Amino acid sequence: MSTPQEVTIRVGQGFDIHTFSTDRHRPLVIGGVTIAGSPGLAGHSDADVLAHALADALLGAAGLGDLGNHFPDDDPAWAGADSTQLLAKVVDRVAEAGFGPVNADCTVIAEQPRLAPHLPAMRRRLTEILSSPVNVKATTSEGIGPIGNAEAIAALAVVLVRQRRSDGGSSRTSSRAEVQPGSAIPSESAR
């Protein structure tokens, strides 16, 4: 019989906000989903606020700084970058640090456009990138501040990560199947 091993779990949180771009041809991308008929957000990359907030949450949980440390906005290599590709690189860096995502919960704050029809696609795309469940919600700021005045969109993300197994395996895929909402996270010996 093996002895139980300590399971390390960590929580990270992320936030991002971008104003709307004056470039009429710039697409609006949120959570890896292009939303037609809406102006895009200003930024060095594609300005995907949700992917940025989620990446920051992952990096924070693993103790790896923030998105700007890894992909500086003054580096031409990241100009116009697809933020879901940056997010995938972050997932890899978090794995290299010995952690894998268990789940994430995200909120997009926007007065416009209406995001409800796009939430299922955002959830699917981000879940695919993290190989773990990602919930995405949307709300408004009730007409308050730059978001309420339809000048910007913001996103918040919280992520739970667990330490990878000591035998070299990853908890990234196995934790998804074994951890259900409201349940305890099983120790490695329980697998």
DSSP string, 7-58: --EEEEEEEEEEEBPS-TTPPEEETTEEETTS--B-SSS---HHHHHHHHHH
Per-residue model confidence (pLDDT) at position 79: 87
Q: What token pair was written down for 128?
A: 């695919």
pLDDT of residue 54: 98
Entry pTM: 0.84
pLDDT for the residue numbered 184: 45
Instruction: Give the pLDDT score at 80.
Output: 87
User: Which segments in the chain show pLDDT lower than 70?
Assistant: 1-7, 165-191
Looking at residue 77, its pLDDT comes to 87
Q: Is residue 61 within 8 Å of residue 99, measured between CB atoms? A: yes
CA-nearest of 157, 152, 110 to 129 is 157
CB 155 within 8 A of CB 106: yes
Dump pLDDT digits (tens) for 99-153.
999 999 999 999 999 999 999 999 999 999 999 999 999 999 999 999 999 999 9
CATH topology of domain 9-180: 60s Ribosomal Protein L30; Chain: A; (3.30.1330)
Residue 169 tokens read as 């395996």
Residue 188: its pLDDT value, please? 39
Domain spans of the chain? 9-180
Half-sphere exposure in the Cβ direction for 129 (13 Å, CA): 28
The pLDDT score that the predictor gives to residue 164 is: 79
pLDDT of residue 6: 65
